[in-house]
Structure 1
Amino acid sequence: MTELMLQPSRVSPVQRVVGTVLRSREIAVAGVLIAVIVVATAKSHTFLFSGNGWRDLLLTPSILLLLAVGQTAVIVTRNVDLSVGSTLGLTAYLTGRLFLDHPGLPIVAVFLAAVLMGAVLGLVNGALVAFGKVPALVITLGTLYIYRGIMLSWAGSNRINASDMPHAFLRLGTRSIASIPILTIISLAVLALVGYYLWTARGGRELYAIGSDPDAATLYGLDVRRRVLAAFVLSGALAGLAGVVYTARYGTVSSGAGSGIELQAVGAAVIGGVAIFGGSGTVWGAAIGAFLLVTINRALPIVGIQDFWQRAVVGALIISAVVLDRVLSARQARKLIEARDES
């Protein structure tokens, strides 16, 4: 007993800090991100120091960041939203149509309309999952195709071009403040707000409690259905916002907008340390995961890696993150059992 009591005092503050850093998934992923940037820049200075290098490094991940943040809120409740790519496509096309059909419409109103539409689409997902008791994987896979079908029927072969939208809106995709693109600032502001809510607000902590043990959360008296519904509404709303950011970033919208990005959003969250089985992870890690995925896709061609291996590297990262999460969870469970037995 005496040895156990003295043991903590033998650990220096430096050792505790190092131990915390080594256990932090966010810091580990950030380290990998920095390493990728350094290697790519050493291979080609234009990756970071060209006219658009720094701007692209910050701007390109902004869309995926918004989706990953919303996806995190859903995944921590032991669910997943595979419809965010289709929601992005619908709201991106809605953005273009509003500018085309209603010239002079305020930009703020377009933002709000897209976010509202995304929230409604998320509400459909959440209601079917929370009240219909149908697995989220099944529901959102179905709505992925339904929303994409609506998009194809609405847009058809039409394309909305930059000439159809006001110049003030398109400037959002090109202007910067203190060398930071405006769209990136918007995404980081959303990240800060959602991160603060999940970390400090009661509703945010309840999402983690639900993901850790849904049955225990119900017995404790938490309104599980309402919280799960809110998580899907948030995911849909952020996908709607991502649709507006997509339109401002690229200036054109076709029926293929957002196709396949839902898997990248899930991958970014998982790589960033969000447990696919719910209950743990942060939006900060998901944001770093989004930056890592986009940066890797830009960096691998520079170092001469072929397209097939680029996809394989991303897949390996996702698998490694899931396996690492299970290993760490099992290790933590063993430590808790050992501590209980010793007491």
Structure 2
Amino acid sequence: MLRREVVILKERKMIMLKKISKDDHRKYNFYNFKELGLVIFLVLLCIIFQLINPRFLTVENIKDLITNTAILSILAVGMMLVLVTRGIDLSIGATLALSGMTSALTVSKYQSLSPIVAILIGVMIGMVCGFIVGLLVAKAKILPIIASLGMMNVYRGLTYIISGGSWVSADQMPSSFKSIATSSILGINNLIFIAIIIYLFFYYFINYTRTGRQIYAVGSNPDSAIITGIKIDNVLLMVYTIMGLLAGLGGVLWVSKFASAQGDTATGYELTVIASCVLGGVSIAGGSGKIIGVILGSLLIGTLNNALPLIKVSSFWEQAIQGFVILIGILINVFVTRRARYNNLKRRALINGGE
């Protein structure tokens, strides 16, 4: 009799494991739906825009689209790390402007300065800005939105102060500096080339390093992260510094691309970067986000920015359409989060029921 009960329990356990396996498989497909859905949405948009204006899918326009999206996607990678830790950085537009202005003023005064040095100057300024925000969040325990909002105004003010309210024009910049964003490597525009390097580096960093996994652990469950020995303060300080670094790099690339440095450069750009992340499936509640997602989210916004003027949509409608798309992305994000939570609860119930 006892042997028969053991056999029955084993059979129930096998059935339960099969159910869990099927549930995990469905959940895996569901998670990938975010990226797949974004790809399908992009393809449909491209088809619609091409039907309206046949010039949209020309090789030249596609190159322009990807090039113009490169800086946005670079910043989105950094913002993804911040959002994954349940944070936010509203200062990146001002950090970008300050870094770009500092580099532009430096090269305008020292015309023979190497472009590499100009990039390093911008990156260092950005790192310092990000580090300060990180200190306020990690050490002073100030809410990320408050800390970054305050420093946004400080950095924007510093940009106007060091420039004296004036701007650096193209004729004040050496051609070597302007070529940073306009020249090519192996036939690929430098902006795209730099963006690809950053994608690959951070893809490896977050997926195959201990520190990268700690970032997700902090965002998923801070209390559990502390118990396992993760120093949350150091992780937060690191992600905000990385965000500042990428914003500093973006500032140099921005000024080089447009051959102009102004005090109001990239005003409000932080919202576009955040939108790219949200559209790419990065959870604003923390703990979830992929590099491929933020790239696709950036491409979606870049596609809208590129195509809407081509089909003669007014600037007012451009903002309305972008806002509508962002809202859809947020709703999808909320739906996916709730669905994932439901799947986890269901899986636990199956396991507990089989014990």
TM-score (norm 2): 0.88
TM-fit CA distance, 1:38: 2.6
1:5/1:277 Cα in 2 relative to 1: closer, same or farther (>3 Å)?
closer
Q: Over residues 11-40 of structure 1, what are the superposed CA-to-partner deviations in whole Å (9 max), with x where a residue is unaligned?
A: 9xxxx7997387332232222223222322
* Aligned residue runs from structure 1 range 30-45, under 5 A: 30-45=39-54
Match of 1:219 in 2: 227
Of the three residues 107, 115, 118, the one matched with 1:107 is: 115
Of the three residues 73, 93, 108, the one matched with 2:81 is: 73
TM-fit CA distance, 1:3: 5.5
Report sequence identity in percent. Answer: 29
Root-mean-square deviation (CA, aligned residues, Å) is 2.3
Match of 2:203 in 1: 195
State the AA in 1 paired with 2:32.
R
1-structure distance, mates of 2:295, 2:233 = 27
TM-score (norm 1): 0.91
Match of 2:55 in 1: 46
Match of 1:156 in 2: 164
1:280/1:9 Cα in 2 relative to 1: closer, same or farther (>3 Å)?
closer
The 3-state SS of whatever aligns with 2:284 is coil
2-structure distance, mates of 1:281, 1:136 = 19
2-structure distance, mates of 1:136, 1:8 = 38
Task: Report if aligned partners of 1:61, 1:290 keep a CA contact under 8 Å in 2.
Answer: yes
The 3-state SS of whatever aligns with 1:24 is helix
More off after superposition, 22-31 vs 202-211: 22-31
The 3-state SS of whatever aligns with 1:31 is helix
* Aligned residue runs from structure 1 range 126-205, under 5 A: 126-177=134-185, 179-205=187-213
Q: Over residues 250-278 of structure 1, what are the superposed CA-to-partner deviations in whole Å (9 max), with x where a residue is unaligned?
A: 11111111111111011101111110110
Bigger radius of gyration, 1 or 2?
2
More off after superposition, 29-38 vs 217-226: 29-38
Task: Report if aligned partners of 1:58, 1:181 keep a CA contact under 8 Å in 2.
Answer: no
Of the three residues 249, 260, 275, the one matched with 1:241 is: 249
Q: Over residues 300-334 of structure 1, what are the superposed CA-to-partner deviations in whole Å (9 max), with x where a residue is unaligned?
A: 23334433332222222222222222222222222
More off after superposition, 192-201 vs 326-335: 326-335
The yes-or-no answer on 1:256 pairing with 2:270 is: no
TM-fit CA distance, 1:72: 0.7
List alignment gaps of at least 5 residues for structure 1. Answer: none
Number of positions where the alignment pairs a residue of Structure 1 with one of Structure 2: 338
More off after superposition, 232-241 vs 213-222: 213-222
Match of 1:96 in 2: 104
Match of 1:340 in 2: 348
List alignment gaps of at least 5 residues for structure 2. Answer: 1-11
TM-fit CA distance, 1:53: 1.1
